[in-house]
Amino acid sequence: MIFGEWSTPVAKTMGFIGIGLLVLGVFLTSYTQKGDKQGNNVKATYTVLVLTTIGYLIYNTIPKGMSSSGLAIFFPESVGMVIAVLIYLTFSHDLKALKEAKSWKQIISGLVFSLAAITYIFSVKENGVNTAFVVGQLSMVLSTLGSLIFLHEHKTTRELIFTIIGLALIVMGAIVTTIN
């Protein structure tokens, strides 16, 4: 809406319906049954989720709002991430993590993320924030299925049903939002 990507009332309506389906789908995929150890910190989890969502919204709209290439922010953003991690490790008194082999192995996932971030920046310029963001959320479907199939993540029958319904809603939301 901010960038005029949903110009007609029908496009706005379909966009909001699609985003609603996405949000509901994400909520359903994160469902855990009571008594589950992971479900005990729900309030703290949702607080962190809201705060990180605000940051993510800013991250998603910067490439579209810039008059120059979104790549112009890529290096400063990367440096900012490294500084943020160092600050976090300092305040959490966990600087020893820098010496651990598993920390250095995470560089591989960081490089994969950087490739995804560059791809996203190009997609925002070509397709707009709405389409790029929604299509990007389809990666959640792949990662969730991957965790269930390849990593054998355990879910109760009820959690699995909610997850499958949630994934279907995410796909439907992406379709509804991008057909505008």
CB atoms within 10 A of CB 121: 22
Mean pLDDT by 10 residues, the chain (180 residues): 72 87 90 65 75 72 62 75 84 86 82 82 79 83 90 91 95 86
CA 154 – CA 55 distance, rounded (Å): 30
**pTM metric for this prediction:** 0.67
Q: Is 21 exposed, middle or buried (0-12, 13-18, 19+ CB in 10 A)?
A: buried
Q: What is the pLDDT of residues 67-104, one digit of tens each?
A: 656 667 777 777 887 888 888 888 888 888 888 888 88
